[in-house]
Amino acid sequence: MIDPADPDQLSRLLRRHRINLKHRLGQNFLIDPNLRDQVAAGAGDQSDEVVEVGAGVGTLTIALADRHRRVTAVELDRTLIPALREVVGGRAGVEVVEADILKLDLVQRYPDGGEVVVGNIPYNLTGALIRKLLDQPPRPRRMSLVVQKEVAERWTATTGASLATVAVQVFAEARLGMTIPAAAFTPEPRVDSALVLLEVRDKPAVNVPDMDAFFRLVEAVFQFRRKQLGGALGRIAGIGSEEAGSRLRDAGIDPERRAQTLSLSEWEALYLRFGKTSPGHAEGVPGLPSGGE
């Protein structure tokens, strides 16, 4: 059996199928079998149905297939599909799907949600993928994602360090699994990666009547991240810093604090006092652009 986590076997596989890796698609393949197996272990127990995002040539797929009864390996690049099929050939329970994960109808496949999503995610896909998976129910049960280390640190920050932190943690409990050095990939990327484990919540961590409006307000406040909350919300709401400060104190929040220091419960309290003045319209979960900022 072929194991693409072995650099020599991967090199021969790519040559045999005349594959040239595409930088624009973020094709950096993991070549450390031990780290690969740890990523696969993050997907959970054998009863889970797994969706792998960006299966590539099957490096992670085969480790998942050894642990789970059903793996749907999704790959966009059709030039990789023959190699992927060769690597996973003979493994029961693996379905290879040539598709764009952002366009694939996961609700049709998992109408009740509860699947586990695993993958080595390119930087330019992280934000859009999180929106697709978490924006509306049904949602996955768990996600085990390899992303750039900087993105992982935002998602797992202990306070609302960024808009991405809030957007992810409203829907999931986020934990940093491990750092994966750039040298563990080929071609070697410029930065290290990290494994993030996301346990999707049964219900959002904030209880607000309009989730879109909640995120619009969070997004607006983070546009003033260097300013104190009293001044920022005074401008956003058009009520002045004195009135904004009074509302914040009523919510138990010091007006001199800044957005990146707030907990989820404090964001909820802030929204309940300022939500009706939140600006603009945004589709879905905002603020997670191409790189999960």
The conformation of residue 189, written as its DSSP 8-state character, comes to P
Q: Enter the pTM of the model.
A: 0.88
Q: Using CA of residue 137, residue 147, residue 178, residue 83, what is the dihedral sign?
A: positive
Alpha carbon distance 102, 128 (integer Å): 7
pLDDT tens over the chain, length 293 residues: 899 999 999 999 999 999 988 877 778 999 999 999 999 999 887 777 999 999 999 999 999 999 999 999 999 999 999 999 999 998 989 999 999 999 999 999 999 999 999 999 998 899 899 999 998 899 999 999 999 999 999 999 987 678 889 999 999 999 999 999 999 999 999 999 999 999 999 999 999 999 999 999 999 999 998 999 999 999 999 999 999 999 999 999 999 999 999 999 999 999 999 987 655 433 334 444 334 55
Which residue ranges form the domains of the chain, and what is each CATH number? Answer: 7-200 (3.40.50.150), 211-277 (1.10.8.100)
- Assign residue 145 a region: left if phi > 0, alpha if psi is -120 to 50, beta otherwise? beta
User: Which residue, among 124, 115, 138, has the nearest Cα to 50 in the 3D structure?
Assistant: 115
75 half-sphere exposure, CB direction, 13 A CA radius: 22
User: Which residue, among 124, 130, 119, has the nearest Cα to 155 in the 3D structure?
Assistant: 130
The pLDDT of residue 260: 93
Alpha carbon distance 194, 292 (integer Å): 14
- To 10 degrees, the CA torsion angle through 269, 273, 277, 281? 20
